[in-house]
Structure 1
Amino acid sequence: MQSPVQTNMRREIDEIPEAAARLLDRSANAFAAAGAALRAKDPAFLVTIGRGSSDHAALFLKYAVELTAGVPVASLGPSLSSIYGVKLKLGGGAALAISQSGKSPDIVAMTQAATHAGATSIALTNTISSPIADASSHPVDIRAGPETAVAATKSYVNSIVAGLAVLAEWTGDRALKRAVADFPRHLADAAKLEWRDFASCVDEAESLYVLGRGPALAIANEAALKFKETTGIHAEAYSAAEVLHGPVAIVGPRFPVLALAARDAAEDSVVETADSLNAKGAVVQVTSGKAAKAKRLPFVATGHPLTDALALVLPFYGLVEALSRSRGLNPDAPAHLKKVTETI
């Protein structure tokens, strides 16, 4: 599925395993410091701050924190601070801000407000010398390296890997620590997978659904964004349960559905939905060996439900980059978009 002339996006996808290994090798002290601060705080709640792919990374980490630490997590609208000037009562909690550039005014303002309110604030950024690092009490360099394609890939994955490493330090979860340490080699395997069959199903499509549950729902949100950004296909992400509460009404013959299932407690429910939509005539492909009717897509089983879900994004990125090119588009420079978007 690769082009003879490699795009920046494809090159950056291929760099993800190395970028993750570099992060784990060089940011261990930052992970330990942030984890120790969270243990000392013992937050009653955690809030996240981000937009776009960074917000999708935050959604993944929301599920990871709730599943691992048992601490409830909520996403804050950055405009609460930058536009509405609301002073939130965050002293009993922690805040996690994610920004590749580290300088979007609304993200920085909300992070500053959380820190000033007494929250233990952690910033995950690819630009450690940036306003968001100054606004937080514990900045963490995600070390993704230069990312020139407009669509985020390396920075998305490394943001989540950094968040999982902090979470492992916070909770002392040995299984998660091992899974994070082993993850770069699983990423290398995942980058080699091809979802060519799904690409052939959507090449002429104007709309599709991406489904998931738990951490895989965060991957589905990221996938839907990337479909819109790079291919011009209108894609919507839904929980595999929520899609049956209304959105299923527009699913008809040949409607494409990508169902993202990890090896976790939600896998059976995602597969059940995938098979039921296939029975309605939709073209459904799912990342599970348990599907009876939907077509099975290849995946990498990492041995841990969180890294298993995150590994799904690598073959998806390869799919969407190739699909963009096949539709005559440039995945490095989507229409109307730029690399750094600064909003107030």
Structure 2
Amino acid sequence: MLLEARSSADVVRRQLRCAHDDHAATAGHLRAQPPSHVHTLARGSSGCAAAFLSYLLAARHGVPAGALQLSALTLHDAPLQVRGSLAVAISQSGQSPDLVTSMQRLSARGASTLALVNQMESPLAQACLWRADLRAGPELSVAATKSFVASLVASALLVSHWRMDAAMLKALDALPHQLDTTVADHEIDATVRALAPVEHLLVIGRGFGLPLAQEAALKLKEACGMHAQALSGAEAMHGPVSLAGRGRTALVFATGGPELPGLIAFADHLRRLGTNVVLAAPPQIRERTMTLTPADMPELDAVPAIRSFYEVVAALATARGFDADQPPHLRKVTLTL
């Protein structure tokens, strides 16, 4: 897992060198016939990447986007009215029948379909009108790392080309250097010490940082055997904050942009309630436990942030007696319907 996570910068370099044409071609079609809205379809880590794509489309491009309920299509064959929309599936393997069946049925109902996939010969890629290669290369660890990073970057490339967003394209060019920036050993050690004894953890993010929190929580479950629940900092105030207090721990990802002040304030609120707060934040936040390297655009902060957190996950798994490469009860390719 850790070796693959550390190769993320090279994966992104390869994407930036080779993937622009794929996304530019798809974007040209989308500009010529703009979809009314975008449905995302994915599971696991890819589902977290799909949430990131939805935020990008809505906040950066003004296109309504959201996750489609796969079971509505696969188990109920719902007669969804999707003509004129775009369906985007994200997957490492492209093998799961629920994604393949859903994209086939959406296409038959008049949606345009796009796969962001790491296996271009997979059933999912073949089922879609358009496809873009994640170019993450073989991923052997059960827990996805570099393919997740590649999915975030592919999402940003798609939106950048669709919107003809020169500023985001320039910010993407800087990501490999930011992904190569390492977390200080003492910060990894401090974060692991704080999290190692924890069995129930709140993981907080907001906006573009919420998919980051969701992926972090998933990795803590998979690789570290920890019950971790990801929540928006705003959503937490509508009930789940009652879980805070003495003897409880929260991990807060305070990424940049307009979300940052509110997340710092929420971390302070949790501390006042007696919660042990582990704060991952940019260098200017003095009370941080772990430093997050900012991207050149706050919408992309999640990319170097998750790469840094994978270092923590690997160390934490070892500290808790787990094998991060072979989590219990899981396989690399999961087939669901």
**TM-score interval, smaller chain:** over 0.9
The 1:298–1:236 alpha-carbon spacing in structure 2 relative to 1, beyond 3 Å, is same
The 1:192–1:184 alpha-carbon spacing in structure 2 relative to 1, beyond 3 Å, is farther
Partner of 1:215: 208
Partner of 1:91: 83
RMSD: 1.5
Partner of 1:189: 181
The 1:184–1:288 alpha-carbon spacing in structure 2 relative to 1, beyond 3 Å, is closer
Q: Deviations over 1:223-252 (max 9, x none)?
A: 111111011111000101111221111212
Partner of 1:164: 156
The secondary structure found in structure 1 opposite 2:264 is helix
* Alpha-carbon distance, 1:83 to partner: 1.2
Partner of 1:250: 243
Query: Pick from 50, 54, 67: which aligns with 2:42?
Result: 50
The secondary structure found in structure 1 opposite 2:90 is strand
Query: Pick from 212, 227, 238: which aligns with 1:234?
Result: 227
The 1:218–1:312 alpha-carbon spacing in structure 2 relative to 1, beyond 3 Å, is same
The 1:275–1:291 alpha-carbon spacing in structure 2 relative to 1, beyond 3 Å, is farther
The secondary structure found in structure 1 opposite 2:203 is strand
Alpha-carbon distance in structure 1 between the residues aligned to 2:205 and 2:284? 15
The secondary structure found in structure 1 opposite 2:277 is strand
What amino acid is aligned across from residue 202 of structure 1 in structure 2? L
Alpha-carbon distance in structure 2 between the residues aligned to 1:106 and 1:91? 20
Alpha-carbon distance in structure 1 between the residues aligned to 2:162 and 2:106? 20
Alpha-carbon distance in structure 2 between the residues aligned to 1:141 and 1:266? 31
TM-score normalised per structure 2 = 0.96
Alpha-carbon distance in structure 1 between the residues aligned to 2:173 and 2:104? 32
Alpha-carbon distance in structure 2 between the residues aligned to 1:303 and 1:343? 38
* Alpha-carbon distance, 1:309 to partner: 2.5
Q: Is the 8 A contact 1:190 1:314 kept in 2?
A: no
**Structure 1 unaligned residues grouped into runs of 5+:** 1-8
* Alpha-carbon distance, 1:70 to partner: 0.4
Q: Deviations over 1:47-92 (max 9, x none)?
A: 0000111110000111011111101112011122221111311112
* Alpha-carbon distance, 1:291 to partner: 5.0
Alpha-carbon distance in structure 1 between the residues aligned to 2:158 and 2:283? 32
Q: Is the 8 A contact 1:195 1:315 kept in 2?
A: no
* Alpha-carbon distance, 1:290 to partner: 6.0
Alpha-carbon distance in structure 2 between the residues aligned to 1:210 and 1:290? 21
The 1:181–1:295 alpha-carbon spacing in structure 2 relative to 1, beyond 3 Å, is closer
The 1:297–1:51 alpha-carbon spacing in structure 2 relative to 1, beyond 3 Å, is same
Query: Pick from 25, 37, 40: which aligns with 2:29?
Result: 37
What amino acid is aligned across from residue 232 of structure 2 in structure 1? S
Partner of 2:260: 267
Query: Pick from 303, 306, 312: which aligns with 1:313?
Result: 306
Query: Pick from 88, 94, 99: which aligns with 1:107?
Result: 99
The 1:43–1:192 alpha-carbon spacing in structure 2 relative to 1, beyond 3 Å, is farther
**Structure 2 unaligned residues grouped into runs of 5+:** none
* Alpha-carbon distance, 1:338 to partner: 0.6
Query: Relative to structure 2, which stretch is displaced further, 329-338 or 19-28?
Result: 19-28
Q: Is the 8 A contact 1:108 1:132 kept in 2?
A: yes
Partner of 2:331: 338
2:128 equivalent to 1:136: yes
Q: Deviations over 1:289-317 (max 9, x none)?
A: 5657x544211122201211222101111
Q: Is the 8 A contact 2:178 2:304 kept in 1?
A: yes
What amino acid is aligned across from residue 229 of structure 1 in structure 2? E
2:199 equivalent to 1:206: yes
What amino acid is aligned across from residue 14 of structure 2 in structure 1? R
Partner of 1:178: 170
**Following superposition of structure 1 onto structure 2, how do residues 267-306 of structure 1 map, counting pairs within 5 Å?**
267-286=260-279, 287-289=281-283, 295-306=288-299
The secondary structure found in structure 2 opposite 1:71 is coil
What amino acid is aligned across from residue 43 of structure 2 in structure 1? R
2:9 equivalent to 1:17: yes
Percent identity (aligned): 37
TM-score normalised per structure 1 = 0.94
The 1:301–1:288 alpha-carbon spacing in structure 2 relative to 1, beyond 3 Å, is closer
Alpha-carbon distance in structure 2 between the residues aligned to 1:126 and 1:134? 12
What amino acid is aligned across from residue 302 of structure 1 in structure 2? A
What amino acid is aligned across from residue 169 of structure 1 in structure 2? H
Q: Is the 8 A contact 1:284 1:295 kept in 2?
A: no
Alpha-carbon distance in structure 2 between the residues aligned to 1:263 and 1:181? 19
Alpha-carbon distance in structure 1 between the residues aligned to 2:216 and 2:14? 25
Partner of 1:6: none
How many residues of Structure 1 are paired with residues of Structure 2 in the alignment?
335
The 1:241–1:198 alpha-carbon spacing in structure 2 relative to 1, beyond 3 Å, is same
